[in-house]
């Protein structure tokens, strides 16, 4: 008979705590915003880009455990924010956040976390927590910070246990834009900041926002497109009224099956109309669902900037078999065994063999599970934006 999880007494000076739904209590030093937040605990293996991670809407309702021990050492700045909408609710780190040492820093990471309503927990054995997630899956939990060290552990545990979790949850509507927007930002250059998009550029890409990262739109602009961003629930008729040369399906949080209730019918109509499509992450999953495949919750998910993905589909020529090192952030995946005959698998993860890309035969429609825009991460996959935009006309 398995023993109940231990509930250690609160150490002297502990101002933060992580309470897992199974009753495990992990103490540490709180930073950032005070109060408490509930979410799914995951881990991210990236060595850089913690600010981009925390502002990625795909992390909505999640608590990120950073496996890299030194988080916050380059501070924070307004240029490295991926979205102004909800991202991760909190983070768990190994070492205390130190003074920033970077010429681009504007404020300390602790201050940035507080100003953005996110809770941090330092001094945790993140290797042990990561191993726990790998063995047992991503748990639901509550993260809390009280400078006075006042915590009602039974109440926090009850909240963690009563939270429904990400499966079956549509979070795209929570993080999507509410109104249509002409995207104006260009690509970033050191010493110059962000450029400006040319609104007279062609082709015209309509991007459906399920919780998009800004760097995706910048890469579409860099590839030569004019971009119009629309909310997640935009209808087929409203999209077509914008006269798109192609439609982009963005990343986002939550269960793809739940978001698909309203997104899939629109995507099916776009496919029937032979509109070129490109999906990333949740958008990739939406495209797969529209084509007849299914998605499933992963045991621990893929989150980091070091994930090897191999090209396996036809049409790559001499580059078939080439491996890209990619950025990933997803807790659900397309079930490759459910892909219908007209859908080709184009990329697979070399970590676990899971699906990482599809192409629909006879259509200009493809998607990838990973994040080719990086931020943070390697730039091996930037070519996909040129592939999509270059094929429009």
For tokens 């995207």, name the residue: 183
Whether residue 306 is found in the same domain as residue 349: yes
User: Are 53 and 191 members of one domain?
Assistant: no
Final residue belonging to a domain, choices 141, 162, 183: 162
* Residues 233 and 335 placed together within one structural domain of the fold: yes
CB 56 within 8 A of CB 329: yes
User: Of the listed 307, 330, 347, 371, which one is catalytic?
Assistant: 371
Pairwise CA distance, residues 88 & 29, whole Å = 19
- Same domain assignment for residues 157 and 190: no
The answer as to whether 78 is a domain residue is: yes
Is 91 marked active-site? no
pLDDT for res 1: 43
Active site residue 281: yes
Determine, yes or no, domain membership for 11: no
**Would 59 be classed as within a structural domain?**
yes
6 domain-assigned: no
What is the DSSP code string of 194-220?
EEE--TT-SSEEEEEESS--HHHHHHH
Indicate whether 102 belongs to any domain: yes
Q: What is the pLDDT of residue 314?
A: 79
Task: State how far the alpha carbon of 94 is from the alpha carbons of 123, 130, 170, 359, in Å.
Answer: 5, 11, 31, 41
What are residue 219's phi and psi, to 5 degrees? Answer: -70, -35
Among residues 127, 162, 197, the one where a domain terminates is: 162
Is the pTM of the predicted complex or chain greater than 0.85?
yes
Tell me the CA distances in angstroms from 307 to 103, 128, 282, 299, one per residue in order.
Answer: 29, 21, 17, 16
Residues 143 and 218 in one domain: no
Same domain flag for 238 and 382? yes
Specify if 8 maps to a domain.
Answer: no
Q: Please state, in angstroms and as integers, the Cα–Cα distance from residue 184 to each residue in 60, 62, 245, 316, following that order.
A: 25, 30, 18, 33
Q: What's the confidence (pLDDT) of residue 175?
A: 97
Peptide bond into 170 cis (omega under 30): no
What string of pLDDT tens digits covers the 393 residues of the chain? 445 566 789 999 999 999 999 999 999 999 999 999 999 999 999 999 999 999 999 999 999 999 999 999 999 999 999 999 999 999 999 999 999 999 999 999 999 999 999 999 999 999 999 999 999 999 999 999 999 999 999 999 999 999 999 999 999 999 999 999 999 988 888 888 898 888 887 899 999 999 999 999 999 999 999 999 999 999 999 999 999 999 999 999 999 999 999 999 999 999 999 999 999 999 999 999 999 999 999 999 999 999 999 999 877 777 899 999 999 999 999 999 999 999 999 999 999 999 999 999 999 999 999 999 999 999 999 999 999 999 997
318 is catalytic: no
Count of all residues that appear for the chain in the document: 393
User: Given this model, what pLDDT does residue 342 score?
Assistant: 97
Q: Bridge-partner residues for 227, per DSSP?
A: 205
Q: Which of 112, 134, 162 is the last residue of a domain?
A: 162
Q: Collapsing DSSP states into helix, strand and coil, what is residue 43?
A: strand
- Let me know whether 142 and 201 are in one domain: no
Check whether residue 191 and residue 322 sit in a common domain. Answer: yes
> Could you list the residue range(s) of the whole structural domain that residue 313 is in?
172-390
Catalytic residue among 42, 91, 281, 356: 281
In a domain, residue 2? The reply is no
Asked if residue 219 belongs to a domain, the reply is yes
Q: In this structure, are 137 and 180 located in the same domain?
A: no
Specify the CATH number for the domain of residue 62: 3.50.30.20
Give the total number of structural domains in the chain. 2
Residue 377 vs residues 46, 189, 288, 326: alpha-carbon distances, Å: 7, 16, 25, 7
- 178 and 139 inside one domain: no
């Amino acid at each position: 008979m398995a023993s109940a999880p231990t509930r250690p007494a609160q150490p002297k000076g502990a101002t933060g705590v992580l309470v897992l739904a199974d009753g495990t209590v992990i103490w540490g030093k709180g930073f950032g915003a005070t109060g408490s937040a509930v979410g799914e605990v995951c881990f991210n293996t990236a060595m850089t880009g913690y600010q981009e991670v925390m502002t990625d809407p795909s992390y909505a309702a999640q608590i990120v455990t950073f496996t890299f021990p030194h988080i916050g050492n380059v501070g924070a700045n307004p240029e490295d924010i991926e979205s102004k909408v909800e991202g991760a609710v909190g983070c768990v780190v190994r070492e205390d956040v130190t003074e920033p040492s970077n010429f681009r820093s504007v404020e300390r990471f602790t201050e940035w976390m507080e100003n953005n309503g996110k809770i941090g927990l330092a001094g945790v054995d993140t290797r042990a927590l990561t191993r726990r997630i790998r063995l047992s899956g991503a748990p639901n939990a509550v993260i809390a910070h009280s400078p006075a060290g006042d915590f009602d552990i039974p109440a926090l545990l009850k909240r963690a246990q009563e939270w429904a979790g990400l499966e079956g949850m549509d979070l795209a509507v929570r993080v999507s834009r509410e109104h249509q927007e002409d995207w104006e930002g260009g690509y970033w250059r050191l010493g110059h900041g962000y450029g400006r998009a040319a609104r007279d550029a062609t082709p015209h890409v309509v991007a459906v926002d399920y919780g998009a990262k800004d760097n995706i739109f910048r890469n579409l602009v860099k590839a030569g497109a004019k971009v119009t961003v629309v909310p997640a629930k935009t209808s087929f008729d409203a999209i077509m009224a914008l006269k798109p040369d192609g439609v982009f399906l963005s990343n986002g949080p939550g269960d793809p099956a739940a978001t698909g209730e309203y997104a899939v019918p629109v995507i099916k109509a776009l496919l029937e109309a032979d509109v070129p499509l490109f999906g990333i992450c949740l958008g990739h999953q939406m495209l797969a669902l529209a084509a007849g495949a299914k998605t499933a919750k992963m045991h621990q998910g893929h989150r980091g900037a070091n994930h090897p993905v191999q090209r396996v589909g036809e049409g790559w020529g001499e580059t078939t078999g080439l491996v890209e090192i990619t950025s990933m952030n997803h807790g659900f995946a397309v079930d490759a065994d459910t892909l219908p005959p007209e859908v080709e698998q184009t990329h697979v993860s070399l970590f676990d063999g899971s699906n990482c890309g599809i192409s629909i035969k006879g259509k200009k429609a493809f998607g990838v599970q990973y994040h080719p825009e990086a931020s943070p991460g390697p730039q091996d996959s930037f070519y996909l934006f040129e592939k999509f935009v270059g094929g429009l006309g």
